[in-house]
Amino acid sequence: SDAQMLESVWTILPGLVLVFVALPSLRLLYLLEEPYRPLMTLKTIGHQWYWSYEYSDFSDFEFDSYMKPLTEMMSNEFRLLDVDNRIILPIKSQIRIVVAALDVLHSWTIPSMGVKIDATPGRLNQTIFFINTTGLFYGQCS
């Protein structure tokens, strides 16, 4: 009887401690993912072999971005990285990107900025990032 009571206390007490530690932690994890007043939102849709972009904060402007074929590339461009329509984003401000896919899984990535987000059919994913310097950053579908 005493051993059973002691075993119950040893089981329930650590469980309660874990619950009291986990609940505030889960709230903080959720709040970390929520963007705080981003300057703009870039909607991105992954298609097989190209990406569609939409700037909807200021005016409805959307376009498709395809990889440049080898026959159209200039000598200073990078194979499998250069595209026909580049996105233009502001510096020194938070940018939210909302990503989805229409056909298969994609992954929108800018390795030099440490940004990677999965594009899944039927699901909206979002992340925020901050561009510190001006430049040309190459993205990939990894």
Same domain, 63 and 99: yes
Alpha carbon 31 to its chain's center: 15
Same domain, 5 and 44: no
Same domain, 91 and 47: yes
What pLDDT, in 10s, does the model give residues 89-135?
999 988 999 999 999 999 999 999 889 999 999 999 999 889 999 99
**Structural domain that includes position 84:** 40-141
Same domain, 97 and 130: yes
When divided into structural domains, the chain yields a total of: 2
User: 35 phi and psi, to 5 degrees?
Assistant: -70, 140
Nearest CA-CA partner of 42 in 105, 103, 88: 88
The CA–CA distances, whole Å, from 50 to 11, 27, 31, 84, 131 equal 54, 36, 32, 10, 23
Residue 77 reports pLDDT greater than 90: no
Nearest CA-CA partner of 63 in 79, 96, 86, 39: 86
Same domain, 83 and 65: yes
Same domain, 18 and 50: no
